[in-house]
Amino acid sequence: AQTVTQSQPEMSVQEAETVTLSCTYDTSESDYYLFWYKQPPSRQMILVIRQEAYKQQNATENRFSVNFQKAAKSFSLKISDSQLGDAAMYFCAARGTASKLTFGTGTRLQVTL
Amino acid sequence: DVKVTQSSRYLVKRTGEKVFLECVQDMDHENMFWYRQDPGLGLRLIYFSYDVKMKEKGDIPEGYSVSREKKERFSLILESASTNQTSMYLCASSPEMAGGFYEQYFGPGTRLTVT
């Protein structure tokens, strides 16, 4: 079983700036996977980025990257060159060998001009 | 593109009514999931199914049941709706592949209000 904690209910960033969303997790499994999902206002949840726990290299997808600190059980999301379209709820999630995901409580990101 | 559809975006029901929420996916995925989303609580898993006619309880199954008679369709049933079941309900599907490094694809959600 996993637990996922997002300690920042809301964050704000100016357009073109960089923001980091925090996530910590706990798991009893040695093989697990970590995800960040984005839920724009009134739109469907979509995957932003994912990380396999056995890979030390941090995942990157265009302007999105993670800082995966396995010993600290930390999995933060960095958004570079923030855009208005990045405004959304962001959920951190974890999965072990079973198919089900465990989600954090979410961080609402506002992007200002 | 994977498409997950849900039968209603908004639904208003009365206390005690039997409520059916339908979810359909078009990618032949083995796994399907029902979550409820509440402010400050994130997404919590109600039930999931890894094959036709197979189901497993999630973290909050009380007051809910599910049905999966066909691979593409997964229904969530509120046997007797109560006001504390007012929430956003999200359906998701995913393939079953070795390694587990696969994403879940979500539907648009159904906002259910029980009065």
* pLDDT tens-digit map of B18-66: 999 999 999 999 999 999 999 999 999 999 999 998 999 999 999 999 9
Answer for the pair A24, A75: CB distance below 8 angstroms, yes or no: yes
Q: pLDDT, tens digit, for every residue of A39-91?
A: 999 889 999 999 999 888 999 999 999 999 999 999 999 999 999 999 999 99
- The reply to whether residue A9 touches residue B58, judged by beta carbons under 8 angstroms, is no
CA distance A10 to B38: 15
Q: Which has the closest alpha carbon to A94: A43, A53, A55?
A: A53
Distance (Å) of CA A16 to CA A12, A81, A104: 12, 4, 26
Q: What percent of chain A has pLDDT over 70?
A: 100
Rg of chain B's alpha carbons, rounded to an integer? 14
Give the closest of A43, A100, A105 to B41, CB-based. A105
* Residue B68 confidence (pLDDT): 97
CA gap A72, A49 in Å, rounded: 20
Q: How confident is the model at residue B100 (pLDDT cuts 50, 70, 90)?
A: low
- Name which of A99, A101, A108 to mutate to probe chain B: the one with the most chain B Cβ atoms within 10 A of its Cβ: A99
Q: pLDDT tens digits for B55-93?
A: 999 999 999 999 999 999 999 999 999 999 999 999 999
Q: What residues of chain A lie within 8 A of the CB of B40, using their CB?
A: 9, 105
Backbone angles phi, psi at B81, to 5 degrees: -60, 140
Percent of chain B as helix, strand, coil, to the nearest 5: 5, 55, 40
Per-residue pLDDT band at A33 (split at 50, 70, 90):
very high
